[in-house]
Amino acid sequence: MNRLKRMLGLLMLALVCSSLQAERLTISMDKNWEFCLKDLPADSVFIVQQGWRQLDLPHDWSIEGKYDKDHPSGRGGGYLPTGIAWYRKEFLLPAACEGRRVFIEFDGVMANSEVYINGKLLGKRPNGYVSFSYDMSEHLRYGENNQLSVRVDNSIQPASRWYTGSGINRHVRMSIKSPVYLPQWGVFVRSSKVSSERAELDVQIDVRNDGTERADVQIVSVLRDASGKEVRRSNSNLKALGVGDSGRVDQTLTVNRPRLWSPEDPALYTLEVSLYKGNELLDTEIVTTGIRSIRFDPAQGFFLNEKNVKMYGVCLHSDGGAMGTAVPLSLWEYRLEKLRDLGVNAIRLAHNPVAPEFLDLCDRMGFLVMNESFDTWQAAKNHAEKGYNLFFKDWWYADTRDQVLRDRNHPSVVIFSVGNEIRDNLNNPEGFAKYKNQHDCVHKYDGSRPVTMALFRPNSSGVYQNGFAEMMDVVGQNYRVEELVAYHEAHPEKAVIGTENIHDIASWLVLRDKPYMSGQFLWTGIDYLGEAFWPNVMYTISLLDITAEPKPQGLQRKSWWSSEPMVAMVRKSDNNGAGHWVSDWTPIDLDTYDQAEIEVYSNCEEVEILLNGVSQGRKTMDKNAAPAAYRLTFRPGECKVLGYNQGKKVAETSYHTAGDPDKIVLTTSKQVLNNDWDEVAVVRATVVDEKGIPCVTANHLIRFEVQGAGRLVATGNANPQNHEMYVVPEKTAYQGTCIAIVRAGSDQGKITIKAEAEGIRGEAQLELSAAAAKVNSLVRPETELQALEQTPLQTLQTSQTPSQTSVQTSSQTGSPNSRQQAKFEKTLLRGDEDGVGILAYGAGDFGFFMPETAGYFKLGLMSEDKSLWLSDARKANIYPTSKGWIMEFQDPFPGTNALRFELRPLQHSNGFVVELKTSQLPGNLSLVWTYGGCSGSKDPAERELFLRPEQCPNNVFSRENNTFTVYYGLSTSLRVMMGVAPMDTETRIGNARSMDNPLMLWNSGKKTDTPVMVARNPLRANSTYYYCIYRQNRKSDYNAFMLPALFQESDKNLQP
């Protein structure tokens, strides 16, 4: 392992452990693992040095392999390799963390995982889809090196009917908590008595005491809306919680005029639950939730917020095509957007728990979710799986419990399913008990949602006759929709739902026309890997192909499920109605293709085809959802389909006959990529003719190259018989197209994607932009903590006492000899327990203080060859207001008319936000500002109001484009300040000894033992800019786009 990285890791963790004191600290553990694709004895994992490679998580090793029809995974596993592998990671945990509880949290490991810390087995988990955690506290070496290793065994095959992937294919975190804490998934928020006027949230909060003495604690819950505004709060006390005991508190929050969650308006709230012992904050849990009501009515179907809603659903497996089962969230967002465009509003998770962030995405996008647990209980299926059926008896309760606990706060989840097409005997007491036990387990941990299962051939299995179905809250059946209709006619008291359905008209008409039919879930929404017979490697009866392009049945479904007027045409690929359906006007053989059999899909009243401008007749759409059928003599050129409502054209789609392949066109799903594992761009390469018409018959081998601030992750196409590897830079076009998946590799810069192929003119090129990862205040990324290059490690161990002198000012801040005595103004926030002091001296400079928090903010102007600190401006005026204070400058710089700064304290955080308004300005003028000199003074009245270089060595900075973080103080009492500036800001490290003027500071360089943050942003005339500095905390995660609103809402009065 790299010694320097381990040292940095220890330093970073020490910073945060001490800065948050007893509060929870959660760190991403995704970075810097080593991987070995072979089995090893557990005690030799950190001894053996051969065969390891470094990588980041999530990771699916199966998708990196080659297809082979003889792989043991077989058709279910998509003929990809599996096996046994080890992952290992070393990390240093500061001694300051001793006495706290330290947990390692896995969102999922595929499969049969064993987790070790320092050689000690923490536990095993057979189910590769379930999230789990272990308490490592008793086995850690505090202040020393720790060794974390994971054995993954996916060698027992075939283990599944579809592709599962292999490895630690989801995120990993380490959570460090107080001995008295809120346990994982221990906060449950349930909506009750919901209306548009009023709603109640019933909150259940668990508390655990793993300390050494009984504890009296207080629980404070604060509900906030999407803007961060406090909506309601509640306080509760838990007395004398014994050592080793858990306690529970129930609260009720009333919300007036709530914004109800729905697919049309997926409004979300956050509940922040804080645990206190006296005035000491022990732990905080932040839960995202939505306010909504659900009801399954036996006669009228599903109701959301008392509005009847049909679930237009699809089933989805967990793979992301070329990414395997380690799927970036932005790729799922891209796919779900494509499904939503077809009218889909519901997802059935087939047939297992998903990554938790997938449900976060469904919450934000407004999808209704059927959350399913198992594909098998104890009986295997037709593929003779050696998978979860081997473990169900011993593990079903823990897996069901953990899935429900983890997912019960998601407003998108409206129903649980405990099984899919279960083959166990359901005609005896044991079969009844298996379902009933799972049903009761779900309701034990979440009584707010109904439970179902996907019945398979119920008339054959007898579950419609033996009373089994009557145990279910909602009766679900796969396929054979007429059987479900007949069951409801015999049992009108039961609510029903189609848990899995084919893409036919008859099933759709039942959903459309039967009021009691709550919804249907098509098999499937997107093509997926596995469940195919060689040479096919993927299942293909879906709305979207595996690259997320709509298929003919997807276009038809859109005509039934979408409310936006649409029209689309498909034709049989071969002459006289032979072949398969395609949506284009370019036959494979133009010479022999003669008679085109066509279907037109539309939700309009009438449709018409124009062939090269000549009408082929207008037809009325069938009320029973059948397409409009045409049979035309093929003519090259344009085939245009039109849709009409009340005689007016409301939709139009054109198809053209392509010529010879001429060039490649690149398009992208995202133009800006944040430097984050979960963010990728889907770059599509399409072969087109000289007019830009897609050549759907092209099958060129396209070579991709990524340059600059990005990297190529994978390539793919929609060909179910393509056996090319995914982690290669080239892919054969299928139906004229293929994709490359690209990820940012740095925090800024251009990403250039190039594509070329033999026989194609020139080289296609596309440019994207890389940007810094979005800051997650709940899970601290390791990369944020590693930006310490400008300060020696040992400086954080030094102590420094601020000078005790009178308040002084100087036009030469970096020149102590020129200081003069000056008067300063002092303002404090009312109502804050700590208080925020802002001590101003002279316009353009001010000190910023809270107890044990300090820093200096200095403003200046700079052109290409001139600069000026605003504290040297001749015409300056500074005065307090009821909301903050104002600095005004007249003619501070040649060609500059006036500048006006207004500073206000933040409402929800300890910090301030500055608004700058400009008027007349010269060209090439920038605002320059610097921040630094932070130390731990408790008495702001005794601090100097200028920046001294000797106050700077104890500051450590990290920078990400327009934001920065400064760490300072001792390792046992570290403080963290954060800053945000306009998006076009450039930041760097400057030398505090070189501050005679802004130009000198800007060019002073970062190789210094007295660092300060220095930044500049270009100014434009008659414009407004915002800047913010605040103390790091769990409540606040600000960006440049939020600053105007933060400025406006900061209405707390200041007292002089």
Q: Do domains 195-289 and 561-583+587-656 have the same CATH topology?
A: yes
CB 452 within 8 A of CB 432: no
**pLDDT at 801 exceeding the cut of 90:** no
How far CA 438 is from CA of 87, 349, 400, 497, 515, in Å, comes to 33, 17, 7, 19, 29
What's the rounded Cα separation, in Å, for the pair 80 and 739? 20
How far CA 960 is from CA of 659, 674, 964, in Å, comes to 48, 11, 6
**% of the chain at pLDDT higher than 70:** 87
What backbone torsions phi and psi does residue 389 show, to the nearest 5 degrees?
Answer: -60, -25
- What is the reported pLDDT for 892? 81
- What is the reported pLDDT for 206? 98
What backbone torsions phi and psi does residue 63 show, to the nearest 5 degrees?
Answer: -70, -15
789 band by pLDDT with thresholds 50, 70 and 90: very low
> What average pLDDT does range 792-811 have in this prediction?
26
List b or e across 408-440, with b for residues whose CB sees 16 or more CB atoms inside 10 angstroms: bbbbbbbbbbbbbbbbbebeeeebbebbeebbe
Strands 132-135 and 53-55: unpaired
Side by side, the strands of the sheet bearing 663-668 are 663-668, 681-688, 737-744, 710-716
Q: Which two tokens stand for residue 866?
A: 């001139």
Pick the more confident residue, 842 or 809. 842
The class (CATH top level) of 195-289 is mainly beta
- What is the reported pLDDT for 782? 55
CB 675 within 8 A of CB 772: yes
CB 399 within 8 A of CB 393: no
pTM of the model: 0.77
Least Cα distance to 617 among 644, 584, 656 occurs for 644
Least Cα distance to 653 among 565, 572, 568, 564 occurs for 568
Instruction: Report pLDDT digits (tens) over 218-259.
Output: 999 999 999 888 999 999 999 999 999 999 999 999 999 999
**pLDDT at 474 exceeding the cut of 70:** yes
What does DSSP assign to residue 772?
Answer: P
What's the rounded Cα separation, in Å, for the pair 932 and 993? 12
Instruction: Report pLDDT digits (tens) over 999-1021.
Output: 888 888 767 778 888 999 999 88
CB 569 within 8 A of CB 607: no
Length of the chain (residues)? 1056
> What average pLDDT does range 297-322 have in this prediction?
98
The class (CATH top level) of 330-539 is alpha beta
**pLDDT at 899 exceeding the cut of 50:** yes
Three-state secondary structure string covering 453-505: EEEECHHHHCCCCCCCHHHCCEEEEECCHHHHHHHHHHCCCCEEEEEEECCCH
Second-level CATH architecture of 3-181: Sandwich (2.60)
> What burial class does residue 805 get, using C-beta atoms within 10 Å of its C-beta: 0-12 exposed, 13-18 middle, 19+ buried?
exposed
970 band by pLDDT with thresholds 50, 70 and 90: low
What are 1027's strand-pairing partners?
Answer: 914
- What is the reported pLDDT for 383? 62
Instruction: Report pLDDT digits (tens) over 589-633.
Output: 888 899 999 999 999 999 999 999 999 999 999 999 999 999 999
- What is the reported pLDDT for 797? 26
330 band by pLDDT with thresholds 50, 70 and 90: very high
Mean pLDDT of the chain: 87
How far CA 117 is from CA of 136, 263, 962, in Å, comes to 7, 44, 39
Asked if the 787-1055 domain carries CATH number 2.70.98, the reply is yes
H/E stretch holding 3: helix 3-20
Instruction: Report pLDDT digits (tens) over 76-122.
Output: 999 999 999 999 999 988 888 889 999 999 999 999 999 999 999 99
Pick the more confident residue, 644 or 967. 644
CB 51 within 8 A of CB 86: no
Sign of CA dihedral 346, 350, 354, 358: negative
What's the rounded Cα separation, in Å, for the pair 101 and 9? 19
Residue 421 among the catalytic residues = yes
**pLDDT at 691 exceeding the cut of 60:** yes
Q: Which two tokens stand for residue 1034?
A: 């769990």
- What is the reported pLDDT for 384? 65
Catalytic residue among 272, 333, 385, 421: 421
> What average pLDDT does range 190-207 have in this prediction?
97
Neighbours of 634 (CB within 10 A): 18
The helix-helix angle for 429-445 and 392-407 (nearest 10°) equals 30
Largest CA distance in the chain: 97
The class (CATH top level) of 561-583+587-656 is mainly beta
940 band by pLDDT with thresholds 50, 70 and 90: very low
**pLDDT at 260 exceeding the cut of 50:** yes
Sign of CA dihedral 754, 757, 758, 763: negative
Neighbours of 705 (CB within 10 A): 15
What is the topology classification, in CATH, of domain 663-771? Immunoglobulin-like (2.60.40)
Residue 500 among the catalytic residues = yes
Amino acid at 684: R
Catalytic residue among 34, 500, 597, 784: 500
> What average pLDDT does range 814-836 have in this prediction?
35
SS3 763: coil
**pLDDT at 808 exceeding the cut of 90:** no
**% of the chain at pLDDT higher than 90:** 67
Instruction: Report pLDDT digits (tens) over 648-680.
Output: 999 999 999 999 999 999 999 999 999 999 999
Where in the chain are the domains? Answer: 3-181, 195-289, 330-539, 561-583+587-656, 663-771, 787-1055
How far CA 909 is from CA of 268, 271, 512, 829, 903, in Å, comes to 21, 17, 51, 12, 14
